[in-house]
Amino acid sequence: MTTYDCIVIGGGPAGLSAALTLRARNLSVAVVANDPKENPLWKSERVANYPGMENATGAQILTAMRAQAEACGAEFVPARALSAMDMGEGFSVLAGSDVLMARSLILALGVAARVTFPGEAEHLGAGVSYCATCDGMLYRGKTVAVIGQAHDAPEEANALFDIGCDVIYFGLGGRPQALNPAIKFHTAKKYQVTGAGAVETLLADGQSYSVSGVFVLRETLSPAGLLPGLALENGFIQVDRAMATNLPGVFAAGDCTGRPLQIAKAVGDGNVAALSAAEFLARKK
């Protein structure tokens, strides 16, 4: 398996800028990134304040940045990073169903959903999980709820069903076509996770379901849900001026590290994070 010098998670301006700088230092880099059309900036019809690209659309800026990073040799892994782990000698990242390895990490996640359901944070690791692939086997033979708010949530629910979980899927609209027809489906908007210690019940729009696990599958994960032990400050990833987090070898850039939430700041952060990752790697040699 290839071990990259750095894995960048997130393909927005911060992640793309970091990838470009890492390649300029001749470091190998994998960017775990969803489709650029899913980036919130894609929808912007006019960006007036990004130097050198006056009145470009968000789509034009993202397309140009990505093409430049690709041309420099950054590898793109089209997936959502589901979890990252410090393995001692480096980091493993679960990207969709692929496991990637790297000697350093740059988190460029954008602004993650910081609103959680009541009871969600309290039961994280005690029945609440953000990753069916990581934790599914713990619930074999048990009833689990999947709150499906990510595009790949039906596939994750199917995988839980296939390993022997009794799955109840909760969606926002109609039943997803990709969902295994044998899986029970409900629509709900409001959720609460309850249980003394471990998860016992999911309340969905006031209706109670007895479950042992709740898989909350959102398009973006909270940074601490992605990488346990990561320090946050007011919901943003805590970084120093070198964009270093509290975890050695882990750097962060862009909106996920705080205000101003702007492209120019994200690009600058990505550059600094990449240079810091390069220094970290050089010290380890």
Ligand X SMILES: Cc1cc2nc3c(=O)[nH]c(=O)nc-3n(C[C@H](O)[C@H](O)[C@H](O)COP(=O)(O)OP(=O)(O)OC[C@H]3O[C@@H](n4cnc5c(N)ncnc54)[C@H](O)[C@@H]3O)c2cc1C
Residues in the site for ligand X, rule: CB under 6 A?
A: 9-15, 32-34, 38-41, 43-44, 47-50, 58, 80-81, 108-110, 220-221, 226, 254-255, 261-264, 266
**In the bound complex, what is the minimum distance in angstroms from residue 224's beta carbon to ligand X?**
12
**In the bound complex, what is the minimum distance in angstroms from residue 284's beta carbon to ligand X?**
25
DSSP for the chain reads: --EESEEEE--SHHHHHHHHHHHHTT--EEEEE--GGGSGGGG-S-B-SSTTSTTB-HHHHHHHHHHHHHHTT-EEEES-EEEEEE-SSSEEEEETTEEEEES-EEE---S------TTTGGGBTTTEES-HHHHGGGGTTSEEEEEEESTTHHHHHHHHHHTT-EEEEEESSSPPTTS-TTSEEEE-S-EEEE-SSS--EEEETTEEEE-SEEEEEESS--HHHHSTT--EETTEEP--TT-B-SSTTEEE-GGGG-S---HHHHHHHHHHHHHHHHHHHHHH-
**In the bound complex, what is the minimum distance in angstroms from residue 39's beta carbon to ligand X?**
4
**In the bound complex, what is the minimum distance in angstroms from residue 85's beta carbon to ligand X?**
14
Q: Give the residue with the Cβ less far from ligand X, 110 or 154.
A: 110
Q: Give the residue with the Cβ less far from ligand X, 136 or 254.
A: 254
Q: Give the residue with the Cβ less far from ligand X, 128 or 226.
A: 226
Q: Give the residue with the Cβ less far from ligand X, 12 or 195.
A: 12
Q: Give the residue with the Cβ less far from ligand X, 108 or 202.
A: 108
Q: Give the residue with the Cβ less far from ligand X, 10 or 154.
A: 10
**In the bound complex, what is the minimum distance in angstroms from residue 264's beta carbon to ligand X?**
6
Region of 171 please: left (phi>0), alpha (psi -120 to 50) or beta.
Answer: beta
Q: Give the residue with the Cβ less far from ligand X, 48 or 196.
A: 48
**In the bound complex, what is the minimum distance in angstroms from residue 223's beta carbon to ligand X?**
9
Question: Is the distance from CB of 216 to CB of 192 less than 8 angstroms?
Answer: no
**In the bound complex, what is the minimum distance in angstroms from residue 214's beta carbon to ligand X?**
19
